[in-house]
DNA sequence: TGGAAATCTGAATACCTATTCCTATATCAT
DNA sequence: ATGATATAGGAATAGGTATTCAGATTTCCA
């Protein structure tokens, strides 16, 4: 995983317009407003994390259930507990879910309000498209 | 790509609770509200599409520039036009971007208001986390 | 304290996907 | 019409990632 480090990739193509076509002003304007490679990397890391069917289902399960332990979540989604644990580790290291220990159970939930909105919004998008 | 078809995978684990642990009521409740495998597949397809650094940068470029032709976009992001065209094809087939022909140029833009919100929201998330 | 339960961690394999090259299509200018 | 430009499409390779297995860790109960 690791937050996509392409060292200074956002500065590479100041001379990339050696190609044909291109409105130089428009490109210069767009380039000045372009997000940094580092930020783009973190954004794509986040999306890629959400872009796996297993993790997606786990997240929507957590979204509706509020909080579930690993074994309940694995039973809900229908995957082995190992897989659930592994997926949750990835999601947690990205700050998408949070864990809370209670005895020997560990309960997971969506960590961030933005992520909840993101999940809701995405579902809306598919409905209307 | 292909909208992740796992035939009726959401029904598989009615007997998955043969494992240890598990609060049966909680799991049953969560399973009843769980999104379908088909919907989860489409959602993860969408996220996976956004989860590539190149496509991410292209999308945010389009988000701010409004509309760009393939060559301007490739110059902006700093990738060959082939790659840009290929990426745009994927994004278009998923309804994320829209194309408009003007002469021999083809201008691309974000197709959907939900997607714009999604991109803005995700950026917000990273800022506050 | 000893053993069992719940979860975590690391490694290996098999699958998927991004990139690139080459070719095809469509539009414009002469 | 013909050549050139702008983009699209398909195929192959290289790289990344999900899944799974075996073992480690942490907590509870007797």
B60-91 tens-digit pLDDT: 999 999 999 999 999 999 999 999 999 999 99
Mean pLDDT of A70-80: 95
Q: Which residues touch strand C (CB under 7 A)?
A: A 69-71, 81-82, 85-86, 88-89, 99, 104-106; B 1, 20-21, 48-49, 52-54, 79-80, 82-83, 86-87, 90, 101, 103-104
| pLDDT at residue A2 in the model | 39
What is the token pair recorded at A20? Answer: 């044909």
CB of B41 closer than 8 Å to CB of A41 = no
- Nearest nt (C1') from A86 Cα: C8
Residue A102 DSSP SS3: strand
CA atoms within 13 A on the CB side of A123: 17
Q: Which of the four pLDDT bands, split at 50, 70 and 90, describes residue A55?
A: very high
CA distance readout (Å), B22 to A89, A109, B30, B37: 20, 16, 12, 22
Nearest to A114 among B6, B53, B125 (CB): B125
Q: Give burial (CB, 10 Å; 0-12/13-18/19+) of B127.
A: exposed
Distance from chain centroid for Cα A118: 10
C-beta separation of B61 from B107 below 8 A: no
User: Which residue's C-alpha is at the least distance from the C1' of C27?
Assistant: B104
CA of B17, C1' of C19: distance in angstroms: 43
Q: Which of A39, A35, A56 is nearest to A122 (CA)?
A: A56
Is residue B86 classed exposed, middle or buried when 0-12, 13-18 and 19+ CB atoms within 10 A define those classes?
Answer: middle
Q: B78 and A21 in contact by Cβ < 8 A?
A: no
- Residue B19, pLDDT score: 55
**How many angstroms separate the CA atoms of B40 and A52, rounded?**
9
Distance from CA of B37 to the nearest CA of A (A): 8
pLDDT of res. B20: 62
**With a threshold of 0.95, does the pTM exceed it?**
no
Q: How far apart are CA A32 and CA B88, in angstroms?
A: 21
Residues B10-25 have a mean pLDDT of 54
């Amino acid at each position: 995983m690791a937050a996509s480090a392409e060292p200074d990739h956002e500065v590479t193509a100041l001379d990339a317009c050696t190609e044909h076509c291109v409105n130089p002003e428009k490109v210069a304007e767009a380039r000045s407003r372009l997000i940094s490679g580092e930020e783009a990397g973190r954004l794509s890391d986040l999306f890629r994390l959400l872009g796996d069917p297993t993790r997606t289902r786990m997240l929507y399960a957590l979204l509706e259930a509020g909080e579930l332990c690993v074994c309940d979540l694995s039973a809900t989604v229908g995957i082995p507990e190992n897989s659930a644990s592994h997926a949750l580790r990835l999601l947690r290291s990205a700050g998408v879910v949070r864990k809370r220990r209670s005895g020997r159970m560990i309960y997971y939930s969506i960590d961030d309000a933005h992520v909840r909105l993101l999940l809701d919004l995405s579902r809306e998008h598919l409905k209307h498209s």
